[in-house]
């Protein structure tokens, strides 16, 4: 079962933690794909953006990973405030397990005065990090 819900990001604050390439998981083969996943509509590479989502009104926060299509790795300074456009969450249940998958159409850093980490450094860090 899979249900998709749009998320009103105006009530949330997102703090950047890192970026990694997205590799699809093949349940039949029980392993990850060798090539980075791509958005089926645009062909752009998919990236996993790790962040802390803060819901100040309820006093709640948690770490999430949002999948974003982008030509270049989405980067920002660590703990910088970021924003997602077209944010949706997909609740899923499979074989007695349940979870959520977060996806967005785009990613923006809200701190333009701070220089973003270099693309090469961000990609190098991302390839060594696990999500």
Does residue 120 surpass a pLDDT of 80? no
The whole model's pTM is what? 0.77
Quick one: average pLDDT of 42-52?
Answer: 96
- Summary mean pLDDT of the chain: 83
Q: How confident is the model at residue 7 (pLDDT cuts 50, 70, 90)?
A: confident
Q: Please state the domain extents for the chain.
A: 2-110
Tell me, what's the pLDDT at 116?
46
Structure confidence at residue 20 as a pLDDT band (50, 70, 90):
very high
Q: Tell me, what's the pLDDT at 58? A: 87
- At residue 43, the pLDDT reads 95
Q: Band the pLDDT of 102: cuts 50, 70, 90.
A: very high
Rounding to the nearest 10 degrees, give the CA dihedral for residues 117, 118, 123, 124.
-100
Query: Which stretch of 42-46, 101-105, 112-116 has the lowest confidence by average pLDDT?
Result: 112-116
- HSE toward the beta carbon, residue 7, CA cutoff 13 A: 23
pLDDT higher than threshold 70 for residue 46: yes
What are the residues whose beta carbons fall under 8 Å from the beta carbon of 92, sequence distance 6 or more? 1, 2, 98, 99, 100, 101
Tell me which of 2.40.50, 2.40.128, 3.90.1200, 1.10.3470 is the CATH number of domain 2-110.
2.40.50
Question: What whole-number percentage of the chain has pLDDT above 90?
Answer: 56
């Amino acid at each position: 079962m899979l249900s998709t819900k749009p998320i009103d990001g105006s009530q949330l604050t997102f703090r950047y933690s890192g970026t990694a390439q997205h590799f699809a998981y093949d349940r039949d083969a029980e392993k990850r794909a060798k090539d980075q996943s791509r958005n089926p509509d645009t062909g752009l590479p998919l990236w996993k953006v790790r962040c802390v989502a803060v819901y100040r009104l309820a006093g709640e926060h948690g770490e999430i990973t949002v999948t974003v299509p982008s030509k270049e790795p989405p980067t920002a300074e660590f703990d910088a405030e970021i924003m997602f456009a077209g944010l949706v969450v997909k609740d899923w249940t499979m074989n007695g397990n349940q979870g959520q998958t977060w996806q967005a159409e785009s990613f923006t850093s809200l701190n333009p005065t701070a220089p973003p980490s270099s693309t090469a450094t961000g990609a190098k860090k991302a390839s060594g990090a696990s999500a």
